[in-house]
Amino acid sequence: MSARTVTILGATGSVGRATLDLIERAPDGAFDVVALTANSQAEDLAQLAIRTRAKFCAVADPEAGGALDTALQGTSIRSAAGPDAVCEAARMSADWVMAAIVGAAGLPPTLEAVRQGAAVAFANKEALVCAGDLFMTAAREAGARLLPVDSEHNAIFQAFDEQQRAGIRQIILTASGGPFRDWSLEQMGQASPAQAVAHPTWSMGAKISVDSATMMNKGLEIIEACHLFGLPQTDVDVLVHPESIVHGLVEYVDGGMLAQLGMPDMRTPIAHALAWPDRLETPVERLDLARLSQLTFEAPDPVRFPALGLARAAFDAGRGAPAIFNAANEVAVAAFLNGQIGFLDIAACVSDSLERGEADGVASVQPSGFEAVLDVDRQGRRLAMDAVKQRVR
C-alpha cells in the first residue's frame, strides 16, 4: 500500500479515536495525518494532533479556540476555531477523509471533503440521510469514492457485486436490537438515559447508542443504504441479530446470500475503508465460530420499535421528509438524554414532527441545494422542539 494522506473529521469521538488507533499501529510512513477536528474538546484534540504530527487542527466551537491555541503552543501545528475552520480542514488536500462527526453538523465539512475529490470514509450517516442525493451527485461530479464505514454498509459493500446488480434481490442490515430488545413497552416507557446508552455489544458515542435502543439507528441506516447502493427502501430488509457477528447480507436471485462476519469492533470496517482496495492488519479479536456455536436472527417488532416504519415512510415521501426525520430525532434524543422526555417520546416526537412537516409544507420542499437542506434541517428542529415541549415531563 502506498503512503496515504488522511484527515479525520470528528477525531475525538468513538469512530475518530478507533481510526487514529489503527493509523498509529500501521507501519511507519503508511499514513500521513493532514488535519484533525473536534467540537470542543481542545486539549484532547491537541494531544491527538501532537501524537500523530498533524499539520492543522480545528474545533467547531469558537469558544474552544483559545484552549486549543494554548495546548498547541511550542508546536508547529496550525489551529483555528469555528464551523468554517472545520470546513477548512475538510478542504485541505488529502487522499482519504474520515467523516465521523455526529449529526447533521457534519454535513458542510463532509460535503467539502467529497468536493475536493478525496476518498471519503462515511460514518456520519445523518449527513447522508439529510442530503443523500446531494452527496451522491457531488461524489460523481468530483470523482470522489464513498467508502461505507457503518458496519452493516461496509459488510454489504464487500458482498455487493456491482457487476451483478441485476441479480441482486435485496440487501439485509442486521441490528443488535439494542439494550431493550426484549423489554416490554411498559418497561421501555420507564427506561433511563443510562440504561439506553448501555449497549450490549458495541461501544459507541451517546447519540448513536440511544439510536440503537430506539432502533432509529437502523431507520437511519435503511435510508443510508438506499443512497449508498442506489436501492428503493423495499429492497432493504432488517433482521435482529443480537450477537452482532453477521453485519450485513446481500441476497441474490439464485437463492444465494453473501455475508460479512466479524467481531463487533468498529476497527474492522474502519480498517477496510482505510486500506481499501488493500487490507490492513488490526488487533481486533479473531472470530471463533466454534466457541460462539450459535447465531440467532429474528424479525424486528414494529410495535415496540416504530422507528423503522417512520424511516421507510420518510424515505418514500422524499423531498424534505428524511431531513425532518433526522433533525427531529437529534432534538428528541438530546431532550431524552437531559431528562426532559421519556424514552418512548423520542419516536413519538419524530412522528409528530413528520406529520406537522407534511401539514405545513416543510416536508414537501425539494432540498436540491446545500442551503435548502440546512434550511429544512432548521425547520425540522423547530417542529421537534414544539413536539418536545408538549411532552416534557
The answer to whether 68 contacts ligand NAD (rule: CB under 6 A) is: no
Instruction: Concatenate the DSSP letters of all residues of 20-82 into one string.
Output: HHHHHHSPTTSEEEEEEEESS-HHHHHHHHHHHT-SEEEESSGGGHHHHHHHTTTS--EEEES
Neighbours of 80 (CB within 10 A): 18
- For the chain, counts of helices (H) and of strands (E): 17, 11
The piece of 36-44, 111-119, 140-148, 307-315 that touches ligand NAD (CB under 6 A) is 36-44
State the residue for C-alpha cell 422524499. 318
The answer to whether 39 contacts ligand NAD (rule: CB under 6 A) is: yes
Is there a contact between 123 and 110 (Cβ–Cβ < 8 Å)?
A: no
The answer to whether 205 contacts ligand NAD (rule: CB under 6 A) is: yes
List the grid coordinates of 245: 457477528
How large is the angle between the packed helices 42-52 and 14-25, nearest 10 degrees? Answer: 20
> Residues 91-120 vs ligand NAD: string with x where CB under 6 A?
---------xxx--x---------------
The answer to whether 150 contacts Mg ion (rule: CB under 5 A) is: yes
Min separation Cβ 80 and Mg ion, Å: 32
> Residues 226-255 vs ligand NAD: string with x where CB under 6 A?
------------------------------
Q: Which is nearer to ligand NAD, 206 or 372 (CB)?
A: 206
The answer to whether 41 contacts ligand NAD (rule: CB under 6 A) is: yes
Q: Which is nearer to Mg ion, 126 or 152 (CB)?
A: 152
12 binds, among Mg ion, ligand NAD, none (CB under 5 to 8 A by kind): ligand NAD
Asked if residue 306 has a cis previous peptide bond (ω within 30° of 0), the answer is no
Type of residue numbered 222: I
Q: Which is nearer to Mg ion, 202 or 370 (CB)?
A: 202
Q: Which is nearer to Mg ion, 65 or 106 (CB)?
A: 106
How large is the angle between the packed helices 125-142 and 107-115, nearest 10 degrees? Answer: 20
Rule CB under 6 A: choose which of 23, 35, 38, 89 binds ligand NAD.
Answer: 38
351 binds, among Mg ion, ligand NAD, none (CB under 5 to 8 A by kind): none
Beta-bridge mates of residue 147: 121
What distance in Å separates the CA atoms of residue 197 and residue 101, rounded to the nearest whole number? 18
Q: What residue ranges bind Mg ion (CB under 5 A)?
A: 150-152
Q: What residue ranges bind ligand NAD (CB under 6 A)?
A: 10-16, 38-39, 41, 60, 86, 100-102, 105, 123-126, 150, 202, 204-205, 207-208, 266
